[in-house]
């Protein structure tokens, strides 16, 4: 942690110095001792203000507290804990007054540009040797990675002639998850039909003890440790416990993020719909915890994540979706190769795409770098004109079997409403003073947009 302090003369302080300069000049030219005495008296408040601002920030430390889980559109509260530690060299143990805190928030948009905004809060009194908590609140309308820092603390107390600034260079990160919606009846039908028959993989013999279902009479081949001895002794015949047989339901989700390139500063609505749908499906599948889950992400940074469907892996998968960025549509062959190599025969594969793919025709699409089995963080390179890799996908002997279990969801189709209902976004106009980023300000009237750009976050009233 690096802290730097500096002092600056405020605008009012410069006006004060101009008046003081006139007094000193008149006293020297006219040789008037009373004006010299007045100049000395006027220098006192300036030096006093400087000294009090220096003492006000000596020993002051700040710690930022970020929420653990945030979705796009949620209102969040960012807390800062201010502490003024005692110093042995301090002569006067005075409290600090009127501390203005300003936090810098940076977010990288789809075009790679950094949108910056600031959060502000005020601590009216910080006792010597004590702590105080200040906070500001706001909304993050965009998913992705946000960086907080540096934070500055300013004070001009008590006269407002000299400003003392403390800068803390500590940087914290917060990943804003995609906003989830509600899955429709079409998804429920697709989920049930995908696991019919042999697609459900039963657990091994020793792991079949699921939830207790009831008691039944002994049958040849039953395991002895399933015998319910108390009921057996009471009835005089062997009685065994009966369990619901659990089944492993593996599923692979491929997310093809292809943007048209016409959205330089704002996010592509189709891409955001695809990410929101994938996040909702991921959370629902992990909540059921019924088997292995494979998530393949296309875009600028292709990634393949493998794990068991459980609530413990939900955060990791949602964070990967939060930072996913669209490309020009070059990662689909890599996603299909990943499905061919890493999925078992019979495992349902759901492809969420932002473009229409009639018959899964790969002609005209360009290949990308292959996706590894585990996490990949390689930048997507330029598109290649060689279609040999696409031919490998089409001519792979496993491709006909994969097409039978491949389900495509086009977020731009008319049937999207049957699969997914996005969550309602909070009104930007109603929460204009809490909006973040230039994209939110661009949708507002001129007067409101100026206010958003100047003060994105404000202290809770």
**Residue 460's pLDDT band (cuts 50, 70, 90):** very low
**Residue 454's pLDDT band (cuts 50, 70, 90):** very low
Pairing of strands 251-256, 292-297: parallel
Structure tokens given for 155 = 């004070």
Residue-level pLDDT at 217:
86
Of 229, 189, 93, give the one whose Cα is nearest residue 409: 189
Rounded to whole angstroms, how far apart are CA atoms 81 and 432?
A: 26
- Residue 93: CB atoms within 10 Å: 12
What's the whole-number mean pLDDT along residues 184-205? 65
**Residue 205's pLDDT band (cuts 50, 70, 90):** very low
Burial class (CB in 10 A: 0-12, 13-18, 19+), 11: exposed
Q: What percent of the chain lies above the pLDDT cut of 70?
A: 76
User: Is the per-residue pLDDT at 168 higher than 50?
Assistant: yes
**Residue 188's pLDDT band (cuts 50, 70, 90):** confident
Of 239, 306, 270, 313, give the one whose Cα is nearest residue 416: 270
User: Is the per-residue pLDDT at 177 higher than 70?
Assistant: yes
Q: Tell me what the pLDDT averaged over the chain comes to.
A: 78
As a whole number of Å, the CA-based R_g of the chain is 32
- Range in 31-45, 87-101, 245-259, 423-437 with the lowest mean pLDDT: 423-437
Q: Which pTM value belongs to this model?
A: 0.74
Q: Domains along the chain?
A: 1-178+427-461 (2.60.40.10), 182-201+248-421 (3.40.50), 209-245 (no CATH)
Cβ neighbours of residue 445 under 8 Å, at least 6 residues apart? none
């Amino acid at each position: 942690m690096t802290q730097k302090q500096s002092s600056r003369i405020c605008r009012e302080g410069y006006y004060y110095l101009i008046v003081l300069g006139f007094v000193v000049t008149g006293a020297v030219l006219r040789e008037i001792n009373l004006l010299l005495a007045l100049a000395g008296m006027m220098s006192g408040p300036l030096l006093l203000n400087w000294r009090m601002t220096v003492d006000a920030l000596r020993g002051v430390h700040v710690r930022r507290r970020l929420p653990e889980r945030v979705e796009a559109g949620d209102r969040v509260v960012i807390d800062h804990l201010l502490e003024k530690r005692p110093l042995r060299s301090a002569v006067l143990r005075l409290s600090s007054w009127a501390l203005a805190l300003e936090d810098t928030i940076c977010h990288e948009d789809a075009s790679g540009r950094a949108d910056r905004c600031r959060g502000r809060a005020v601590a009216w009194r910080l006792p010597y040797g004590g702590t105080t908590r200040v906070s500001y609140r706001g909304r993050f309308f965009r998913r992705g990675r946000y960086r907080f820092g540096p934070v500055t603390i300013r004070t001009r107390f008590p006269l407002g002639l000299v400003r003392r600034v403390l800068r803390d260079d500590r940087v914290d990160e917060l990943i804003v998850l995609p906003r989830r919606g509600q899955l429709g009846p079409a998804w429920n039908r697709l989920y049930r039909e995908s696991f019919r028959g042999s697609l459900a993989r039963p657990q091994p013999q020793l792991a079949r003890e699921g939830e207790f279902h009831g008691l039944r009479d002994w049958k040849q081949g039953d395991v002895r440790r399933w015998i319910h001895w108390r009921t057996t002794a009471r009835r005089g015949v062997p009685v065994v416990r009966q369990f619901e047989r659990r089944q492993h339901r593996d599923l692979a989700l491929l997310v093809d993020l292809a943007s048209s390139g016409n959205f330089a500063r704002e996010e592509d609505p189709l891409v955001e719909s695809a990410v929101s749908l994938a996040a909702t499906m991921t959370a629902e599948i992990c909540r059921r915890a019924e088997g292995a889950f494979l998530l393949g992400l296309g875009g600028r940074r292709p990634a393949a994540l493998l794990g068991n469907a459980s609530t413990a892996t939900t955060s990791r998968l949602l964070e990967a979706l939060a930072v996913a960025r669209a490309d020009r549509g070059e990662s689909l062959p890599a996603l299909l190769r990943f499905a061919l190599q890493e999925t078992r025969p019979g495992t349902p594969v759901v492809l969420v795409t932002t473009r229409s793919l009639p018959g899964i025709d790969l002609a005209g699409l360009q290949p990308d770098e292959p996706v590894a089995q585990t996490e990949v963080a390689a930048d997507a390179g330029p598109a290649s004109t060689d279609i040999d890799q696409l031919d490998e996908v089409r001519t792979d002997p496993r491709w006909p079997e994969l097409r039978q279990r491949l389900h495509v969801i086009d977020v731009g189709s008319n049937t999207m409403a049957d699969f997914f209902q996005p969550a309602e976004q909070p009104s930007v106009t109603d929460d204009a003073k809490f909006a973040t980023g230039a994209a939110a300000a661009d949708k507002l009237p001129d007067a409101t947009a100026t206010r958003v750009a100047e003060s994105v976050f404000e202290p809770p009233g």
